[in-house]
Amino acid sequence: MAKRVAIVVGATGFTGQFLVKQLCESEEYAAVSVIVRRDFSYKHAKLDIQVKDFDKLGENDLDIADDLFCCLGTTMKKAKSKKNFEKVDLEYPLRIASLAKKRGIPNFHVISAVGSNKKSPFFYSQVKGRMEEALMEMELPHLFIYKPSLLTGDRGEFRLAERLSEGIFQLLNPILIGPLRRMRSIEGKQLAFAMYHFSIHNTKNDVTIYRPLDILNAKPLEDIEEQPISREELFNWEKREDIFVDPEKVNK
């Protein structure tokens, strides 16, 4: 299989950091380029780091690649205003997707959220819904939208509301089974793995949406080892009738 090339935007974020490491350590990707607004501490032989002003990104700032992963996202606490929140979670993803299309990058992957809807009464869900709809209207070659439920894991900063939610879900996850399993929280590392997994095992549909269960069910493919046949089984002709050919059935 030909080696792939990836671009990650939002590599310094919670999921982005896991994704970059996953891509660099994979056998399928020969090179990974990250576009960041500040220096990136992770180093790898496959990794190329480009520090850019997202407001000035142009088509030539994107390398030729197979996949562009957009992991951009912020919070109202960080953004401090709805306008700044929309810039990061709506305007930047749309701008980057447009540049990727012009550059001829075939696969665009983006993180949204479960419950996203442009008509939602909740601002966060509304912005994510508007982003999804606008990306679909762009008619990208292949668009992959990931809609996780609550993301958990060490973010390197304290967020009271999220810590409380994580604590609740740690108690609930074991009992959320069957149809309720889709409501489980998802670790950022698992979302990153799912993005990598579906990038190399994708459907090639124009638009593919991965919901919480799809993300949770993404698992490494296990290598099936061929078990040796014992001498006793090898020469037990009654059990190995499949190796004989019936002459009467040949060329019929």
- The token pair at 218 is 């993404």
Q: Which of 46, 52, 101, 124 is catalytic?
A: 124
Question: Residue 16's closest CA among 204, 115, 153?
Answer: 153
State both tokens at 25: 């350590």
Residue 52 catalytic?
no
Cβ pair 115, 209 in contact under 8 A:
no
Distances (CA, A) of 93 to 19, 30, 54, 57: 17, 25, 10, 12
* CB within 8 Å of 128: residues ≥ 6 apart: 89, 112, 113, 116
Q: Can you say whether the dihedral through the CA atoms of 193, 116, 134, 130 is positive or negative?
A: negative
Residue 196 annotated as catalytic: no
Tell me how far apart the terminal alpha carbons of the chain are, to the nearest angstrom: 38
* Phi then psi dihedrals of residue 142, to 5 deg: -145, 120
Catalytic residue among 21, 92, 128, 189: 128
133 CA to centre of own chain: 19
- Residues with catalytic function: 124, 128
